[in-house]
Amino acid sequence: MSFLGSYERERQPIEHKILVAIERAQKGVSSRNPVVFFMRGRGQRVIPTLINFALDHTDGKVLQFGTQQAWTYATSPLSFEHWERPGPRCPFPIPGILARKDQNLYRWLHSRVHAGDTVPDATVNNTTVHTVLKQSRGWTLLLFEGSAADNKVLSTHVSNVQIYNVDELQSLGDSLKTPADARGYVAGIDEVLVVPAEDEAHKIFNVKAQCLFLIRPDHHVALRSEPLRKDAVLKYFHKQCGMKVPDYSVPTSSNRFDPLPVTVYGTIFAITLGFAIANNFQSTWRKVLLGFVACILAFLSYASAPPRD
């Protein structure tokens, strides 16, 4: 699907929510129900105070929601995340399994910037993210150095991962830039911003290990890649945007759903259920274990589900 062709697919759910909210508000304003009429009169006095309180205590989240900065295109065909899962390695598989668990929880539950989200602002060196985005004539590439500890875990438990320093990241980003045409337009990447590990942007984007964000011209995240793969950008431009790019080779991205924990806990559930049936459910601890494992399986199913509109 092309960049312009995805517009209706992206905007329709958001516009629908806005129209529904307007319709409900209109019904509330025009209702002649005595209770609603009474509450509406009091609300005119209370609502400004509540709005000011929310703005002061929610770190701008309410304002972002009202201006659509908090709305996301996570379900858009132009939003993609490239992940590679850590795996167990002989003769010591436990560290790899723990790294895999940590990545799953970070990927599923953490309040981080996802593909499709609006890019938040942050100070980087002597500029800001939004300043770079506004001066870009096309796409923008953000390259995060990542913390040393998380980079070590990534390079140890994921195959063929190279960790770059700041200068190497800048060179990698520059190699992906596209020259402007005769009219000054840039069809690909125009600006590259490298974020050193000590910058506050890591905290604002909630970045841990080294990764990249490819930013669309409308300032939404198109691609998030962890580990940082140059060819993941080329593949995105080719597959999602239909652009002509050089040959690329990139490992297959892992799905949100991870079969390993489901297999492990599913096996435990089946074995426990078999013993419980054989014992006519007389054992209390087996029933407790069944309930506990069932809750874990339900959580895994919910957390690993794809984004919803």
From the list 62, 64, 59, the residue with the least C-alpha distance to 47 is: 62
Question: Would you say the C-alpha torsion 155, 156, 160, 162 has a positive or negative sign?
Answer: positive
Q: Which pLDDT score is estimated for 59?
A: 57
Q: Which pLDDT score is estimated for 88?
A: 86
User: Residue 218 and residue 32: Cα distance in Å, rounded?
Assistant: 43
- Sheet-wide strand order for 211-215: 80-83, 221-226, 211-215, 139-144, 189-195
Q: Which pLDDT score is estimated for 54?
A: 57
- 285-297: b or e for each residue (b if 16 or more CB lie within 10 Å)? ebeebbeebeebb
Q: Which pLDDT score is estimated for 77?
A: 85
- Ordered DSSP codes for 31-94: ---HHHHHHHHHHHHHHHHHHHHHHHHTTTHHHHHHTTTT---TTSTT-EEEE------TT--H
Low-confidence residues of the chain: pLDDT under 70? 1-32, 35-70, 308-309
* Contact yes or no for 206/110 (Cβ under 8 A): yes
Q: Which pLDDT score is estimated for 72?
A: 78
User: Residue 174 and residue 253: Cα distance in Å, rounded?
Assistant: 24
Q: Which pLDDT score is estimated for 27?
A: 64
User: Residue 191 and residue 82: Cα distance in Å, rounded?
Assistant: 21
User: Residue 105 and residue 214: Cα distance in Å, rounded?
Assistant: 23
Q: Give the model confidence (pLDDT) of 270-289 as tens digits.
A: 999 999 999 999 999 999 99
Q: Which pLDDT score is estimated for 68?
A: 46
- Which residue's structure tokens are 């929601």? 65
Please classify residue 274 by burial: count the beta carbons closer than 10 Å to its beta carbon, then call 0-12 exposed, 13-18 middle and 19+ buried: exposed
Which is it for strands 221-226 and 189-195: parallel, antiparallel or unpaired? unpaired
Q: Give the model confidence (pLDDT) of 125-158 as tens digits.
A: 999 999 999 999 999 999 999 999 999 999 999 9
Q: How far is CA 114 from CA 9, 152, 245, 265, 266, in A?
A: 18, 23, 25, 28, 29
User: Residue 203 and residue 112: Cα distance in Å, rounded?
Assistant: 9
Q: Which pLDDT score is estimated for 264?
A: 95
* Contact yes or no for 153/99 (Cβ under 8 A): yes
Ramachandran angles phi, psi of 246, nearest 5° = -65, 165
Tokens for 291, please give them.
Answer: 């309930």
The full length of the chain comes to 309
CB atoms within 10 A of CB 201: 21
CA dihedral 201, 202, 206, 209 (to 10 degrees): 150
- Which residue's structure tokens are 């337009």? 185
Q: Which pLDDT score is estimated for 89?
A: 84
